[in-house]
Structures are given as structure tokens and as C-alpha cells.
Structure 1
Amino acid sequence: MPVWMWLAGAVGLEVVGTTALQQSAQFTRTGPTVLMAVCYGLSFYALSVVVQSMPVGVMYAVWSGAGIALISLIGWAFLGQRLDGPAVIGIGLIAAGVIVINLFSRANPH
């Protein structure tokens, strides 16, 4: 499987895990707590595969940046959380950074 598919999977699992973390109500709800732990574990496994082919700094920047942007959008769209102007600008800058790394960096495999 291509390294970018592993990284996309790691991001998706981290996003599901973080959403479940919020739903776990401080680990008092078993289902979301187990889902969170499984997703985080699988996400880190996928990252361990990615780091064999990609510099850890690039991998982490893409993983965390994409995760932040997606979690913020999920919080806004599905959990009723508000994003003010500075938050939207910051998320846009994070997304722009991920795009720049993916399109222009020689440090990652294309």
C-alpha cells in the first residue's frame, strides 16, 4: 500500500478516535472509550509504517495538521462548537501548510 494511503488512514483513525474521546465523557462511557483506544492504537501503527518512508517531521506535520483541521470541522458541523474568525484563519493556515508540504516539499515521497 502506498505511504500516503497509510498516512491518510492514520489521519482518519485519529479523527475518529478524537471524536470518540469527546463522546467518552471522561472515560465513563465504555463504547466511545474503547473506540478511542482502538483508533489511536491503529493510527499509531499506521504512523509506524509511514515513518519508514517519510521524515518524521513531515509525517507528523501532515498527520497533526490534517487532524486539527478535520476535528475542528467535525466539532463545528456535528457537535455545535463555534469557530470564530481567528480560529477559522488559523485552521486555514494549518491546511495551507499541509498543502505546501504535499505539493512542494522534497522531503516527502511523491
Structure 2
Amino acid sequence: MKAWLILAVAICAEVVATSALKASENFSRLWPSVLVVVGYGLAFYLLAETLKVIPVGIAYAVWAGGGIVLITLVSWWLFDQQLDWPALLGMALILSGVLVLNLFSKAVPH
């Protein structure tokens, strides 16, 4: 269970770093740029830690799916990105895939 919590923190760090990447304005603003470097560094370190327990394919699927959905929601909230029905449907399918992997797959350590 600890590995999944670490993976969740890694995903959040990646989402923070990606949001800061937009705010850094092509690395021309110092503090958002620092947040990008620190956030991605932390995210990849924590992802690497989870790979001691969670298979790489499963960890990366959850990382990618969770990251896509979270950064899309953050972009909608912070940067006024518009979400249409196909975008919402796509995110629902991504979340469904992550749930199927975690709830039903024998490839996932429980």
C-alpha cells in the first residue's frame, strides 16, 4: 500500500511541475522554473521508488493516466482550458482503465 501512496505523491509532483512549466513562461520566470526542476526531480525519484514493488508497466499506466486526468483538471481550473464532451469521455475512459488495472488485473500486486 505504501508504494501506491508514493506513486500518488509522484503523480501530484509531476502535475505541479507541469503546471509550473506553463507558468514559467519558457523558463523566463525564476520561481516557477525552480518549481519545474524540483517537481520533476521529485516525481521521477518517487516513481523510481515505486518500481521496487509495482511492475513498471502498471506503475507507468497509472502514472500516465492519473497525470493526464489531473493536469487536464488543473488546466481547466487554473488556465481556463475548455473541456468538451469528447475530452470528458476520454478522461472517463482513462480513469476506467486505471480502475480495471487496479481492481481486476492479476499483473497488479495487491
How high is the TM-score relative to the length of structure 2?
0.95
Q: Compute the displacement of 1:83 (Å).
A: 1.0
User: Number of residues paired by the alignment?
Assistant: 110
Residue aligning to 2:31: 31
- For residues 75 and 29 of structure 2, what CA distance do their matches in structure 1 show? 19
Q: Which runs of 5+ in 1 are unaligned?
A: none
- For residues 22 and 97 of structure 1, what CA distance do their matches in structure 2 show? 28
How high is the TM-score relative to the length of structure 1?
0.95
- For residues 42 and 5 of structure 2, what CA distance do their matches in structure 1 show? 14
Q: Which runs of 5+ in 2 are unaligned?
A: none
- How much is the aligned-residue C-alpha RMSD, in angstroms? 1.1
Structure 1 runs (4+) greater than 3 angstroms displaced: none
Residue aligning to 1:2: 2
Q: Compute the displacement of 1:78 (Å).
A: 2.0
Query: In percent, how many aligned pairs have the same letter?
Result: 51
Residue aligning to 2:53: 53
Residue aligning to 1:62: 62
Residue aligning to 1:86: 86
